[in-house]
Structures are given as structure tokens and as C-alpha cells.
């Protein structure tokens, strides 16, 4: 069977590699390299699966995907380091929410989780402060773009610089150049463009993708020793994101971020990036306005949570210890009602399967999402 996979991020690459074991697969990517968007602009955290609604796709595929990813990285000699993560309650008012998160994590089968008091917290992160914490020792860091390149390296045919315009009902794939490629099945994993490509292919316009930009800061190298692993806040129940966190990365840098703000460009990363078509789409969509009307306080909190976060968790830090870092843009699916789609969303239309929502932890879960897509394509 001839299968075309659209999108060379980690989800597309993982699916293409799995399908290539017994099918004739071509992976198409519009950029000149793989992993150019979300996959190459993220925190690099292999999540253990604490947060997700039990029995959701996110909960199930994050656990399984994390296990598959560990095995894959070991097999391919790709560095994956279990630095461990603390979710920190800054003061006693956050302890109830912390314990509720611990119960959810147990229900999701997260391994070796421990609840710590203030002294236990400091035994793991000596420079951090807080009233208590959850410790997830198997949370890890990895370079998801490197994983993506390795996965795609196992697919015989990969074409970059190949933007897809639409997919026809008979599974023919039309490129922006007008070239038509015949296929028996098509898998669309287009990240920030997934709603546009679905719509151009005759699928429902919604859920729409609303891009949320996340900026990072970096600790100055001489202050990086203040953070040993990963330090996360207790999540804000009003937001779909995990909150601004401190992340030690594979190269020893410590990043603080990402915050969250409506992005005015889907795939541009400069500080004041603005693409009229992207900005107009985000602002004109009624769902965006309803979301902001309901959650504006949380939105302001998420936007302002930058350097201040780092200093609240590590009191020895001062603003001068942080410098601006890179940014990433999340593809978050949103309904017209203003409801954020929490779970992964995969939609089949005849011979085509569209990934309509694959936000965090989709990089962690990618190898398990690939299995799910494989089943749905059959």
C-alpha cells in the first residue's frame, strides 16, 4: 500500500517510520529540514504523565509513548537523561491542589512518585523554596528534533521543500507546485497548519488552531548550578499549559519558560513576528474572543509569568541572572464556543486521517500516537 505522510515533525516522522515497516511510505515536509516548528522549539521534556485526565488519549499515549521513546533512544544511542522533576507548592495554599495532582498521577500509573515536605524538596533541589512538592524521578530531557531526524532516517523516501496544498477525496496529494501524488492512504500531521490543510481538503473548519507563543529565558551559565533538574509550578486549572518552569537541558543550560500569549504569527519566531493572515485568523475566530473573555485573568498571569517565576522558586536568583532565550509556538485546537480541546484529536475521512490536535505532551507520546494512527488507517 502507498501511504503519504504530510508533516515532518515528530508525530509525522514517528508514524512514517512505523508504517514504513510494511508499506511504501513517502514523508513530505514543506520546510527545508525536519522538526522545524513545534518539534524543534520546545522544552525537551519527556513527560511522565502526571497531569492528564485518566483514560484520555493524552494519559494513555503519554505513558506508552514515554516507554517507547526511552527504548528507541537507548537503541539508537540518542541521549535521554532522567533528571527528575519537582512540582512545587510555593506555600500551604497550594498543597491541596498538589495532593490532587498526586492522586491523578497515581491513577495514571506514574512510577515512583513521592510527596515531599519542604526539607525533602530541598534535599533534591537545595536552592529551591516551597511548602512541599511532588517528585517524579523518571521525567527526562531529550532533543526531540534529533529523535525526529533519527526516525525519518528509517524511512526510505523523505521529501523536504514539498508543501502540500490539499488532499483530494481519492487520497491524491496535491503539492503547492500543482504536482499530484497518488496514494492509497494519507496521514496529515501538519501541526500549526493542521486546520488550514484540513479545510483546504474539504474537512470541517473547526476545531481551529490558535497559536500560543511561549518565550523562554536562560539562566546565565555561572548561575545554572542553582537548578539540578526540572522545577514546575502547581498547574493553573484555568489554562491548558503546564506553567512556566525551570528546565535543565541536555547541554547544561537552564531555561525558564515558556509563558503563554496569543501569537500573531504561526511559524515565525522573532520577537515581534507578525503575519497579517495568521493574526487576522486568530483574532477573527469567535472562539478566541470567547476564550479571552472567560480567561483573561489567567491569560494575564500566564503572560507575566516569566523571570518572576524563576525568582519565586529560586530566591537566590535576581533579574540580572536571566537573559532572553528562544521561543516556541504551540498549536492549540479551539472550538467556536471558546473551549480548548484538551485531548489529542485524530479524525478519519475515508482514506485520510487528520491529526487535529497534538499539543504537549505529543512529542513525548509521538511513538504511541503513531501506533494509534496506524490502527486508524487500517
Residues that bind ligand FAD (CB under 6 A): 6-12, 28-31, 36-39, 41-45, 47, 163-164, 189-193, 197, 214, 258, 328-330, 358-364
CB-nearer residue toward ligand FAD: 219 or 370: 370
The length of the chain in residues reads: 378
CB-nearer residue toward ligand FAD: 86 or 192: 192
Q: CB of 164: closest distance to ligand FAD in angstroms?
A: 4
Q: CB of 121: closest distance to ligand FAD in angstroms?
A: 22
Q: CB of 258: closest distance to ligand FAD in angstroms?
A: 4
CB-nearer residue toward ligand FAD: 144 or 285: 144
Q: CB of 222: closest distance to ligand FAD in angstroms?
A: 25
Q: CB of 267: closest distance to ligand FAD in angstroms?
A: 7
CB-nearer residue toward ligand FAD: 47 or 138: 47
CB-nearer residue toward ligand FAD: 110 or 132: 110
In three state form, how does the secondary structure of the chain look? CEEEEECCCHHHHHHHHHHHCCCEEEEECCCCCCCCCHHHCCCCEECCCCCCCCCCHHHHHHHHHHHHHHHHHHHHCCCEECCCEEEEECCHHHHHHHHHHHHHHHHCCCCCCEEEEHHHHHHHCCCCCCCEEEEECCCEEECHHHHHHHHHCCCCEEECCCCEEEECCCCCEEECCCCEECCCEEEECCHHHHHHHHHHCCCCCCCEEEEEEEEEEEECHHHHHHCCCEEEECCCCCCCCCCCEEEECCCCCEEEECCCEECCCCCCCCCCCCCHHHHHHHHHCHHHHHHHHHHHHHHHHHHHCCHHHHHHHCCCCCHHHEEEEEEEEEEEEECCCCCECCCCEEEEECCEEEEEECCCCHHHHHHHHHHHHHHHHC
Q: CB of 341: closest distance to ligand FAD in angstroms?
A: 13
Position of minimal CB gap to ligand FAD: 9
Q: CB of 42: closest distance to ligand FAD in angstroms?
A: 3
Pairing verdict, β 45-46 and 185-188? unpaired
CB-nearer residue toward ligand FAD: 194 or 288: 194
Q: CB of 115: closest distance to ligand FAD in angstroms?
A: 23
Amino acid at each position: 500500500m502507498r501511504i503519504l505522510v504530510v508533516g515532518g515533525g515528530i508525530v509525522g516522522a514517528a508514524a512514517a517510520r512505523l508504517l514504513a515497516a510494511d508499506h511504501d511510505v513517502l514523508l513530505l515536509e514543506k520546510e527545508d529540514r525536519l522538526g522545524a516548528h513545534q518539534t524543534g522549539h520546545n522544552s525537551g521534556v519527556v513527560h511522565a504523565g502526571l497531569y492528564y485526565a485518566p483514560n484520555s488519549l493524552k494519559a494513555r499515549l503519554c505513558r506508552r509513548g514515554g516507554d517507547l521513546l526511552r527504548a528507541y533512544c537507548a537503541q539508537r544511542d540518542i541521549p535521554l537523561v532522567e533528571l527528575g522533576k519537582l512540582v512545587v507548592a510555593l506555600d500551604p495554599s497550594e498543597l491541596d491542589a498538589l495532593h490532587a495532582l498526586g492522586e491523578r498521577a497515581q491513577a495514571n500509573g506514574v512510577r515512583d512518585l513521592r510527596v515531599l515536605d519542604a526539607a525533602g524538596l530541598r534535599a533534591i533541589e537545595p536552592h529551591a523554596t516551597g511548602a512541599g512538592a511532588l517528585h517524579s524521578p523518571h521525567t527526562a530531557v531529550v532533543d526531540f528534533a534529533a529523535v525526529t531526524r533519527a526516525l525519518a532516517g528509517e524511512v526510505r523516501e523523505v521529501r523536504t521543500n514539498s508543501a502540500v496544498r490539499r488532499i483530494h477525496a481519492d487520497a491524491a496529494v496535491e503539492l503547492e507546485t500543482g504536482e499530484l501524488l497518488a496514494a492509497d492512504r494519507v496521514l496529515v500531521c501538519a501541526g500549526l497548519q493542521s486546520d488550514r490543510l484540513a479545510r483546504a481538503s474539504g474537512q470541517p473548519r473547526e476545531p481551529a488552531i490558535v497559536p500560543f507563543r511561549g518565550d523562554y529565558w536562560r539562566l546565565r551559565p555561572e548561575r545554572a548550578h542553582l537548578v539540578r533538574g526540572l522545577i514546575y509550578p502547581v498547574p493553573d486549572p484555568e489554562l491548558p499549559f503546564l506553567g512556566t518552569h525551570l528546565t535543565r537541558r541536555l547541554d547544561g543550560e537552564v531555561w525558564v519558560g515558556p509563558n503563554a500569549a496569543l501569537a500573531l504569527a504561526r511559524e515565525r519566531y522573532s520577537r515581534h513576528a507578525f503575519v497579517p493572515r495568521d493574526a487576522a485568523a486568530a483574532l477573527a475566530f469567535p472562539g478566541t474572543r470567547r476564550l479571552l473573555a472567560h480567561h483573561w485573568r489567567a491569560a494575564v498571569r500566564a503572560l507575566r509569568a516569566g523571570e518572576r517565576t524563576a525568582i519565586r522558586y529560586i530566591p537566590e536568583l535576581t533579574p540580572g541572572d536571566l537573559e532572553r532565550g528562544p521561543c516556541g509556538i504551540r498549536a492549540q485546537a479551539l472550538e467556536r464556543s471558546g473551549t480548548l480541546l484538551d485531548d489529542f484529536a485524530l479524525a478519519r475521512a475515508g482514506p485520510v486521517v487528520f491529526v487535529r490536535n497534538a499539543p504537549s505532551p505529543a512529542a513525548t507520546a509521538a511513538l504511541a500516537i503513531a501506533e494509534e494512527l496506524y490502527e486508524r488507517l487500517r
